[in-house]
Amino acid sequence: MTKTAFITGATSGIGEATAYEFAKHGIKLVLCGRRLHRLKTIQDALSRLTDVHILNFDVRNRQATLDAITSLPKDFSKIDILINNAGNAHGLDPIQDGSLDDWDAMMDINVKGLLYVSKGIIPQMTERKSGHIINIGSSAGKEVYPKGNVYCGSKHAVLAITEGMRVDLNPFGIKVSAINPGLVETEFSKVRFKGGKEADGVYTGFKALQAKDVAEVIHFAVTRPAHVNIADVLMFCTAQANSVTVKKTV
Ligand code: NDP
Ligand code: 8X3
């Protein structure tokens, strides 16, 4: 039976790569993000491989999020796999200098947005007693690094929420997983540094994880047999040992 996956943050990076990986394997897609032109381009590209529906909303907007999920056409309304991926870091400042707007953005998108989307989709999973939720956490959800304060806090929250979901949804046979990457070369640092030049050096001098590397692990997790749940994955590029230890060659 063809499965349908709902992917947030599908307009770039890990979410977009996951959409490609899933499409290659014939998984039907509901792709979400704020940049409509990108959603349309990706839909055009992937429609040769699978059925694709796009939803254009901001996960910070609770009502828009719930309405978008309710608006799904019948062919796409049964969600087997939810990939809670939308998120970003905003700023890299010591706590005493942090911006309230950055803090709001990270908590509202990474934590509350994930909850709004989950709230919209979990009821159909509990009703059917099946489903798989994958939350994209981070190594920053396991280890706090200098100036990471609120971003790390948001990702620690994602990990705690993931564990809570796994316990509460256990009676329904719903799988819940956390995939926690280290440095991945995406638009992440462009967003963190608001397009500033600090983003330029983040992935130089070593081979960072690529979005596809993470997408392949996500696909592995969703294709395990019914009795197997990949509960928690911490993945780094070989050059990275932890949040502050990266072997650079230049
Ligand atoms: P990108 O910036 O490339 O992608 C982020 C995605 O999130 C985009 O598709 C963006 O879409 C979407 N998004 C951001 N804000 C909102 C919003 N308010 N409403 C809806 N969608 C939103 O970064 P990554 O692919 O790297 O990040 C994906 C996830 O992976 C994030 O949760 C991030 O924290 C996590 N992660 C990233 C790592 C890295 O080093 N890159 C490492 C570990 C975890 P749009 O702007 O179109 O709305
Ligand atoms: C993204 C990885 O190390 O930039 O979650 O915080 S890091």
Confidence grade of residue 250 (pLDDT, cut at 50, 70, 90): low
pLDDT digit string, tens, across residues 71-101: 999 999 999 999 999 999 999 999 999 999 9
Catalytic residues: 151
Distance 26 CA to ligand 2 centre (A): 30
DSSP output for 159-221 = HHHHHHHHHHTGGGT-EEEEEEES-EESSHHHHHTTT-GGGTTTT-SS-PEEHHHHHHHHHHH
Does any ligand 1 atom lie closer than 6 A to the CB of residue 60?
Answer: yes
For residue 6, what are the β-bridge partners? 30, 82
User: Which residues does ligand 2 sit against, CB inside 6 Å?
Assistant: 138-140, 148, 182-183, 243
Domain 4-246 belongs in CATH node 3.30.70.141:
no
Secondary structure (3-state) at 11: coil
Amino acid 15: pLDDT: 99
The protein residue with its alpha carbon nearest to ligand 1, atom 9, reads: 9
Does any ligand 1 atom lie closer than 6 A to the CB of residue 189?
Answer: no
Amino acid 189: pLDDT: 98
Interface predicted TM-score (ipTM): 0.99
Amino acid 166: pLDDT: 98
Give, as one character, the DSSP assignment of residue 3. Answer: -
Q: Which residues contact 122 (CB under 8 A, 6 or more apart)?
A: 131, 133, 169, 174
**Ligand 2 pocket: which of 183, 198, 203, 242 to mutate (most atoms within 8 A of CB):** 183
Closest ligand 2 atom to the C-alpha of 183? 2
Output the CA–CA distances (angstroms, integers) from residue 249 to 102, 181, 207, 235, in the order listed.
32, 21, 10, 21
Amino acid 49: pLDDT: 98
Output the CA–CA distances (angstroms, integers) from residue 51 to 19, 85, 157, 195, 209, in the order listed.
11, 20, 33, 34, 28
Secondary structure (3-state) at 248: coil
Give, as one character, the DSSP assignment of residue 9. Answer: S
Mean pLDDT to the nearest integer, 56-74 = 98
Domain residue ranges of the chain, discontinuous segments joined by +: 4-246
Amino acid sitting at position 211: A
pLDDT digit string, tens, across residues 173-205: 999 999 999 999 999 999 999 999 999 999 999
Mean pLDDT to the nearest integer, 121-144 = 98
Does any ligand 1 atom lie closer than 6 A to the CB of residue 33?
Answer: yes
Return the CA Rg of the chain: 17
Closest ligand 2 atom to the C-alpha of 152? 6
The closest ligand to the CA of 190 turns out to be 1
Confidence grade of residue 1 (pLDDT, cut at 50, 70, 90): confident
Mean pLDDT to the nearest integer, 4-25 = 98
Mean pLDDT to the nearest integer, 243-250 = 92
Report the 3 state secondary structure along 72-118.
CCHHHCCCCEEEECCCCCCCCCCHHHCCHHHHHHHHHHHHHHHHHHH
